[in-house]
Amino acid sequence: MEVLVSLAVILILIGALVGTGSYVRTRANVDLTRSMLEVLSSALEQYYNDQTPNAFPFEADLTFDEAAFEAIFLPIIADVLPDGSLLEKDGSTPPLDVSSASSAALFYFLDRNPASRAIASAVSNTLVTNKDADGNAITITIGTNPAIDLPRYIDPWKTSIRYVYLDGTAFPSLTSAGPDKVFDTPDDITSK
């Protein structure tokens, strides 16, 4: 009987430790995400100050879709390459994963501005990736040029950071979906 009581106490203590460890890990990830969003906000401020006239990287809204991605982001990439066409080797338009489009575009714009790039470089390398959920590289191919990686900012739960700038607002919003990996829920972490 004493052995069973001892085992029960030990199991209760182990359960408490596991629960506490999970809570601490989640809190650490939330703090890391908040820190990243602050760094990216500073990089965005620098980007804004360096532009003539002052402007944020691009204007997107919550309905950021494939058409917006193509209209805003891809022509900017195409303008730095000799061949402006965006085609697969067979001549078709490549499929686009737009779930991470605003994060990839944000990375691209901040990386092109030297002062913003210097600030954004403080973001941990573990929070920047060019991989999708299946571990495949996210790339686009423009004309006959080699594939271009599309790095993006992610949170510790491997979800892309959402960048939203609504025309007429003072400052863009950066949002992490949080531990549940679903946007627009109470656990979202935002720069606002």
- Over the stretch 109-139, which tens digit does the pLDDT of each residue have? 898 889 999 999 999 989 998 887 777 777 7
Give percent of the chain above pLDDT 70.
71
Mean pLDDT (the chain) is: 77
Q: Kindly state the tokens that stand for 101.
A: 């489009």
| pTM check: above 0.85 | no
Out of 25-29, 84-88, 173-177, pick the least confident.
84-88
Rg (CA), the chain: 21
Out of 87-96, 160-169, 177-186, pick the least confident.
87-96
Q: How confident is the model at residue 4 (pLDDT cuts 50, 70, 90)?
A: confident
Q: Kindly state the tokens that stand for 48.
A: 């804004």
pLDDT of 47:
92
Residue 106's domain comprises: 2-190
Beta bridge partners of 176: 189
The pLDDT tens digits for 49-66 are 998 888 887 654 445 555
CB atoms within 10 A of CB 141: 15
**Nearest CA to 110 among 148, 74, 158, 153?**
153
How many domains are there within the chain? 1
pLDDT of 11:
83
Q: Kindly state the tokens that stand for 47.
A: 């980007």
CB 173 within 8 A of CB 39: no
CB 103 within 8 A of CB 163: yes
Phi and psi angles of residue 180, each rounded to the nearest 5 degrees, phi first: -85, -5
